[in-house]
Structure 1
Amino acid sequence: MALKKKKGSSMIMLLIIFALIVIFGTAILALTAADYSMRVVASEKIENFYAADSGICIIQGIVKKEVECAVVSGNEKAADYLKNDADTDKSILKKDGSTVDEDKLYAAANAKFKNAYKSYIVDFLNKRDEDNNITQGIYTGSDGKKDLFRNITSKPNIDIPSNAKFNEENRMDLKVISTFETAVKRGQTSNKKTVSAHIIITVPNYGDTYSITTKEGEVALNPVWQNAVSIDGNMNLNGQMEFDGDIFVRGINNMPREDLLKNISYNKYYGGISIGNDKSSNYADINFNNCKIVTANSFCINGSNNHVNSGDIYAGNLYVGSASKEAGEVSESNNIHCHNVYLSNDLCLNSEKTSIGIAQFYGINDVSSPRTTGVDNENYKSSSSIIVNSDDIGKGSAINIENKAIIMGTAYIDTKPEAYQTGEAVAIKGNYKTYGIHIPDDAANSGDQAAIDKYKQGNVNFAYINPLMLIKSLKSGSDSELTVQQKIEYFKLCQKLGLTANGTSIKSSGITLPGGSDSVISFGLSPQSGNNNFDTNYKAEDQKIVSEKQKQLAEKVYEMSAPEESYVTPADKLYAQGNQNRTVMDGDKNRVTDPSTGYQTNTVAQVAFVDEAGNYKTYDVKKIDYASSSVVYVNSEAKKVVLLGRGAQYDGDEKADNVIDLKNMNSSASSGVIVVKGDVELYGDIDFTGSIIAGGDFTTKDNIGVKKIRWDNSKVKQFIASNYNGLFKNIFINSTGSSSEGSTFSVDAGDDTVGYQIDDDVVKLSQWRMER
């Protein structure tokens, strides 16, 4: 009986303990839920607090912009008085009435300035219409109507007095109340947050250091900021992109020499401008409009399904095809349309189902006077030609040159240890086998018997030049290698005799050159209009035309399109010398000349991070005005600079990278000047007007939206001029002249330093408080 009683008490204790655990557990869960709810409410209140405070900041930004406009209005009135009315205003004369009292003159001009200034501000703040309603974040400035709250889902409520006015002390106290509230959730009483502040606006005197006066100032011209993009590195483009401004890309082929020579057919095109990607399924759709695209290296379209529309191209090579032999991808379905194309080397098509259309083509590197030594297989760089390695040429792929063609070089076959030069200006895949054909000793042709006797099998030597057996020399004479002219004769003779290599005829279809005897200048063999037989089209008098085109290319590539009067080497000697006289940053500060000729022999930079004394200086200037959507950014570190547009998905390290956030600008179209030592990367949808200048590469990192880079002469000059002394005047070196056109800019009165925006003494925020 006692044992049973003990078991019963144990059961009761177990039930009591279990009940306590349930009670405590329920209480803890309830407390956790309550704490979570309170945290959510607190978070929403904090979020609403920041949203309300952002309303104050936006209003302050609008007021500052309008005060700038008010100062301009005041300056105009004062200037108008000084120019047109002061001469007839007797109130400013001294007592004797003979001369002007300077103090009275200033007082009169100052009164005109202040009246116009105050009137402008009062009119603006008291407007409540569809174009100007500051309480709704809507105002119309000098650059059009803007809605500063347009990207905000829930907008703050702004309360501003509608009877704004200046007191007798020329001071306006504008109380701004900003309230933000979201829908109340269950269990909440209110999450409304209200912030208030006073914006104090004062009236400056005409010409005070914190007002804005205008001044015509000379700004030193520099080629780098006269382009939309100027870089020393390479440009890598993917996705959709539009340019409306000239581009300079020096380009770097830093591939090790031994690797370069392993596969010249691909590797010589590395460096410069690269569009598309072998290893990516993303296509590139690039519109250069009517811009000039300049690079000392190659202009390449890699991969498939790319569309490129360009203006004038000045480059070493124009290449369409896979970037490397090992890529494992077939390049196809590319579409390229160009206006003028100037090349110091080759146009190469190595892509199927591809069309290249060119209005005027100038391949102007003269085969008779190579500008490289030929050592280590480098002769391939010294002869302009058209190379076609597409298997479907004439059956899917085509090159069409419409109006004018100059082809001053001949192609090379990729043989080892040295490349074999042919006699073809237009070299189509497979036609190189002609140089391996043996002309029979018994061949006969009444019109060409002398040529047959010269080149028949018994009178020539063939040699194995890895991987081909090719004609090398004549047996008679010095046994020297055939000249380009002799190789031209040999190719033409094989064509006339109808000889084929392994049953394969000489190909000529798919290449369309302009008709007319004066439309084509071709030192080597090219398809002739009407019959597609290969022949040359070159006369001694054509050299004058070729030399002019060489000069035009050299001015763009070697002198960055600078005016001729700024050259050291004469313009007509630039191409032959082949010296890169100007770069963006990778060069010397001062020119070096050859004492015997006076020609420049080194490369000078156009940008150097130096102070006024010319000593190197660290720069990190970041002026970003979200209200006006403007950027002035200068950084001398070799760090990556990232431009983030709308929709950008950037997962990089913001501490390691210098990030310029364009997506939160007031307008989707931003503007400014960016000068950086390192690389520039673009993410998202970007619309930027100005100049981007970099010592590194320029790369688009995604295919989100359309990236637009524009150049506007007046805007860029305004940015340069407004930040000239102490900044751009120092870093832009080796100028090419000066200009005051369009360079009216803001300066502090009585000083040459530049005022960038209204001083805080004129528009000041005070008495900030959280109402509730």
Structure 2
Amino acid sequence: MKRKKYGSSYIVVIIIFMFVSTISMAMLSMISANYKARVVESKRVENLYSSESGLDVAYNLIGKTFDAAAQYGNLRVKRLQSLTKDSNDDETSPYNQDFIDLKIDIDYWKEYNSNHDKEEDKKSQQFIDKKIEEDNEMLDVIVNQEFKRAFNNFILKYDGKDYADKEITPNKLKESIVNKSYVNGVRDLNDNESSYDIAEIQFPDNNNPPNLSINDSGGIRYDTGNDLDVKSISLQSSGKQLSLDVYNKEKYTITVQSEFESKGQNTNVIGRNMRTVQATYTMFVPNYNDVYFTKSTGNLQEYPALENRGITVGGNMDIDNLSNLQVTGDVFVKGDRTKISGDYGIVYNKYKGGITLENVKNFTFDNVMTNETFNIGNNVGQDNDKPAQITSNLYARNLYAGNINGNQSSYSNLSIGNLVVDNDITLKANSTNIKINNFYGINERTVNGEESEEKDKNSSCIIVNGNSNSKVDIKNSAYIMGVAYIDTKDQPYKTGESLAFKGNYSAYSVPDPNTPNEIFSYHDPLYLFDGTNSSNSNSGNEVAQKRVHFEDYWDGKLKEENTGGISLPSNTKAVGAIIYKDLSGKFQVKNDATNLINDNDMEDIIDPKREEYAQKVYNMGYPQKDYDKLTESEKTYLKNLYDLKSTSNPQYTIENIMKLPEDIDESNSYKYSAENEAKEINDNDAEKAILTKKNIVISGDNASENYDDTGDYIFINASNNKEIDALIGTDGDVTIDGNVNFRGSIIAKGNLIIKGKTNGNSTSLITYDPEIIERIESQNIELFNDIFGGTIYTGGGEESDSGNEILNPNYDINKFLNTKLWKLVK
């Protein structure tokens, strides 16, 4: 009897299933790749034609018309709000009579008990207050409806409403696009007419601009939304029943077509070719409070914690493993050496704290301020197409390229606009290049006899202890007020060099045979030159003696390696000797009067830079003025602030610019959202004030580790390219991990850590956005004053009378306007 084979059918089924799965996965992969290719190609074509066709201009024109429509709506609202109980309806708005009736009803209830003598006829104050509150709420609804009505009339004549014919309707959207112009301002002239300032768009090829058009039939479509978006509101007032239908999702669909001549490089046909492209935009009709915030306590204040600053940190700022970091707005990092463990000796301990970057392929900062060190380590600025740069100014105690433990770092590049340091530039790195437009080393305390116990921390110079492949290139001007030190064991040995290079120190250990009066002393482990018999180390001649000795030793002996890769401009001034390669490639050792800083340099250059440094670093950027606009009393204050340094008492500090209440995490007394309703922190549509004493973690894609909301910190999920719009204020640390797009401002009294997955190509964008801050503040006036009001800046602007209503127009146009569809017609 033949034995039956069990399981053979099962194996056949598995093989068939695997075959079908393989084919299916291959087909899905092909479909996915095809789809991605089509999307990329569509985007390429869109980018190719959007500028040339003028459709990007059309988007801007719609945005400008939105702005003007909001202004026009506000004028109509103010006209409506000027009505009183004694006003007559001039029929310029369908809401005039309703507004007047509500004013009459409010007055009726205010005087109700006064108009009734009998106690049994009187009402309780609670009942009266409730009636008045209902009337005021209905007034707010009517104001919003009037704003939207006027907004719609400005965009497109509001057909179907009798009052549209009684009003001189602007109907400006189509006119702006077709004429390639926009309303730049709206002014109220008389009772029922406004005037407009018109500005025209200029195209790169203004002799042959694109022809923008909107179809008369359906080119602009108005949509009130579906029936579920309609809300009916009614109120019994003054013996009348008021009823309104409120639409929550009104929008316009705008289709713009452009005909233009495309240049030959954009086509397969040589020469100029006619092209037609079409784009469809969606514009949502805003509510009044979406674009105008009303408050009753005067202007928004200028809080030092929030003005022009994207990042404010009380501790240190560490950045690691990022492909790209872009920060707009000022960066202030106080720095805290005590938070950096380890003892690295006298020379390297001074580089503890401040801002540290490691493995950051590309970064861009505007203005950076730190009371400690700006430190670039390994592999910083390796993107040749987008060099790492500080576009404006860096104010720091030190600029250090190297590892804090004294080891060399490697392969970094940095470009700086203007560099102001209170100590030195130190380069201990291999294959590292630093380019600076203007350099100001402003500290001279080791030269003028005012030495402190930390001599090495009070000397501005340039030190190169690294590889000859590294370079520092200063382009326009350099002012160097200090000299370098040798790390001897008893105490640091002061040299006569303002530019010090590894190996050049040998000059101080070799006597000059032409100068018999030289004195050498033992500075463990070396015998070093201490001057001549006539020199006095406390008379101010010590540096001059060492400077001359240094020049005499090196004169005629210079080689490439002695310059340390330093390139200096002709406009270079220093207090010590300088060895460098000039811009023509010649080796120089300078110690003559033309290269020494004189009294005029001190008065015109160094003293103003010291006061500017005190303003930016010690006083957190205040007063917020350019130096030439400071008053004499402000300059005197800043001079004293610089001279006193650590013993000074600045007006603005990280400790006093923000004071969180002890119960801030429990009270929930602030609002997350500018829409005046609480929203979850992870709601991407909400603009948030996140104020806490806890640590905060913002985590996106490509994060270096996993986070969740179960830890003892505030967790913000920024994955899937979410944009986080927020004001963050914490007494703890902030961690930004992975791909994060943040708009607003960050204030952390602890540390700020920005990082990503190793080799994960993480990108962090931190954008200071004053409009987001103002919108959040406008909904939290009292709370902001409690937290940030201890140091209100009153130097700019005018204070308004308390109790006046201030309207602050402020909104993000991207929330109301987007491109829905784009296509190439021919």
Which TM-score tier does this pair reach, normalised by the shorter chain?
0.5 to 0.7
1:113 aligns with 2:189: no
Partner Cα distance (2:766, 2:80) in 1: 42
1:645 deviates by: 2.5
Q: CA deviation at 1:331?
A: 1.5
Name the SS for the 2:232 alignment partner: coil
- Partner Cα separation in structure 1 for residue 560 and residue 231 of structure 2: 90
Deviation per CA, 1:140-195: give whole Å up to 9, x if none: xxxxxxxxxxxxxxxxxxx953794737663669999xxxxxxxxxxxxxxxxxxx
CA shift in 2, pair 1:372/1:679, >3 Å: farther
> SS at the partner of 2:549?
helix
The 3-state SS of whatever aligns with 2:545 is helix
CA shift in 2, pair 1:627/1:417, >3 Å: closer
The one of 232, 237, 243 aligned to 1:166: 232
**Structure 1 residues 101 and 570, CA gap change in structure 2 (3 angstroms):** same
The residue that corresponds to 1:428 in the other structure is 501
2:711 to 656, 674, 679: 656
Q: How far is the alpha carbon of 1:729 from its aligned partner? A: 3.9
**In the alignment, which residue of structure 2 is the partner of 1:310?**
390
The alignment status of 1:78 with 2:77, answered yes or no, reads: yes
AA matched with 2:421: L
State the match for 2:326 in structure 1.
242
Give the Cα separation in 1 of the matches to 2:537 and 2:634.
46
Distance 1:86 1:399, change over 3 A: farther
* CA drift at 1:607: 1.2
> In structure 1, how many angstroms separate the alpha carbons of the residues matched to 2:710 and 2:796?
39
TM-aligned CA distance change 1:435 to 1:622, over 3 Å: farther
**Alignment deviations for residues 528-579 of structure 1 (CA, whole Å, 9 cap, x no partner):** 6364222241223211121111111111001111116796961232221214
Report the Cα distance in structure 1 between the residues aligned to 2:635 and 2:666, rounded to whole angstroms.
Answer: 30
- Superposition pairs for residues 54-453 of structure 1, below 5 Å? 77-82=76-81, 89=88, 103=103, 113=143, 115-116=145-146, 161=227, 164=230, 166=232, 170=243, 213=294, 217-226=298-307, 227-238=309-320, 239=322, 240-254=324-338, 260=343, 263-276=345-358, 282-288=359-365, 291-307=366-382, 308-311=388-391, 312-325=393-406, 330-367=408-445, 373-375=451-453, 378-392=454-468, 396-440=469-513, 452=514
SS at match of 2:783: helix
CA distance in structure 2 between the partners assigned to 1:230 and 1:491 by the alignment: 44
- Are 1:336 and 1:356, in contact at CA under 8 Å, matched by a contact in 2? yes
TM-score (norm 2): 0.58
Do 1:554 and 1:574's aligned partners in 2 also have CA atoms closer than 8 Å? yes
Deviations 1:588-626 (A, max 9, x none): xxxxxxxxxxxxxxxxx2111249xxx999765572642
Whichever residue aligns with residue 657 of structure 2, its letter is: Q
Encode CA deviations 1:663-695: one digit per residue, 9 max, x unaligned: 269x73232211100000012211111110011
- Alignment equivalent of 1:466, drawn from 503, 521, 524: 524
Cα distance per residue 1:299-346 (max 9 Å; x no partner): 000123545311210000000012213x6xx51111010000000000
Contact 1:619/1:634 (8 A) holds in 2: no
Output one character per residue of 1:685-723: Cα deviation in whole Å (capped at 9) or x when no partner: 111111100110000132453111111233322322321
Cα deviation for residue 730 of structure 1 reads 3.6
Go from structure 1 to structure 2 and tell me whether the alpha carbon gap of 1:81 and 1:740 turns closer, same or farther (over 3 Å shift).
farther
* C-alpha distance after superposition, 1:406-456 (max 9, x if no partner): 11111011111100011111101100111001223xxxxxxxxxxx3xx33
1:737 has 2:794 as partner: yes
Flag the structure with larger Rg.
Answer: 1
**1:623 aligned partner:** 672
Determine the structure 2 residue equivalent to 1:607: 658
Q: Secondary structure at the match of 1:709?
A: strand
| 1:512 to 2:564 alignment | no
For residue 187 of structure 1, what is the aligned residue in structure 2?
none
Give, in angstroms, the shift of residue 263 of structure 1.
1.6
Cα distance change of structure 1 residues 618 and 489 upon mapping to structure 2, 3 Å threshold: farther
Task: Report if aligned partners of 1:234, 1:251 keep a CA contact under 8 Å in 2.
Answer: yes
**Partner in structure 2 of residue 573 of structure 1:** 640
> Does the residue aligned with 2:544 lie in a helix, a strand or coil?
helix
What is the DSSP-based 3-state SS (H/G/I as helix, E as strand, rest coil) of the residue aligned with 1:410?
A: coil
Q: How does 1:7-26 map to 2 (within 5 A)?
A: none
Distance 1:316 1:86, change over 3 A: farther
Q: Which amino acid aligns with 1:103?
A: K
Match status 1:695 vs 2:749? yes
Q: Distance in 2 between matches of 1:407 and 1:175?
A: 64
Please give the alpha-carbon distance, in whole angstroms, between the structure 1 residues aligned to 2:636 and 2:659: 22
List gaps (5 residues or longer) in structure 2: 1-68, 92-99, 107-134, 159-224, 235-241, 250-286, 383-387, 624-629, 674-678, 812-826
Extract unaligned runs of 5+ from structure 1: 1-69, 93-99, 127-158, 177-203, 277-281, 441-451, 588-604, 758-772
The share of aligned pairs that are identical, in percent, is 25
* Residues 413 and 619 of structure 1: CA distance in aligned 2, closer, same or farther (over 3 Å): farther
Alpha-carbon spacing, 1:496–1:581, altered in 2? closer, same or farther (3 Å): same
User: RMSD between aligned alpha carbons?
Assistant: 4.7
1:555 aligns with 2:637: no
8 Å Cα contact 1:73-1:116 kept in structure 2: no
* Structure 1 residue 351: Cα displacement: 0.5
Say if 1:416 and 1:532 are closer, same or farther in 2 by CA, change over 3 A: same
- Between the aligned partners of 2:524 and 2:511, the Cα distance in structure 1 is 18
Determine the structure 1 residue equivalent to 2:32: none
Could you say if the C-alpha distance between residues 688 and 87 of structure 1 is closer, same or farther in structure 2, counting changes exceeding 3 Å? farther
Deviation, structure 1 residue 469? 2.0
Higher relative contact order (CA 8 A, sep 6+): 1
Q: Corresponding residue for 1:145?
A: none
In the other structure, the counterpart of 1:29 is none
1:496 corresponds to: 555
SS in 1 for 2:467: coil
Alpha-carbon spacing, 1:662–1:87, altered in 2? closer, same or farther (3 Å) = farther
Give SS of 2:312's match. strand
Q: Secondary structure at the match of 1:524?
A: coil
**Shift in Å at residue 122 of structure 1?**
12
Q: Deviations over 1:373-412 (max 9, x none)?
A: 532xx100111000001131xxx22110001111111101
For the residues of structure 2 that align with 1:101 and 1:172, how far apart are their CA atoms? Answer: 18
Displacement of 1:661 in angstroms is: 2.0
Asked whether the 8 Å contact 1:296–1:557 carries over to 2, the reply is yes
The 3 A distance-change label for structure 1 pair 414 and 736 is same
Native 8 Å contact 1:275 1:284 kept in 2: no
Equivalent position SS for 2:764: strand
Q: 1:337 to 1:688 in 2, by over 3 A?
A: same
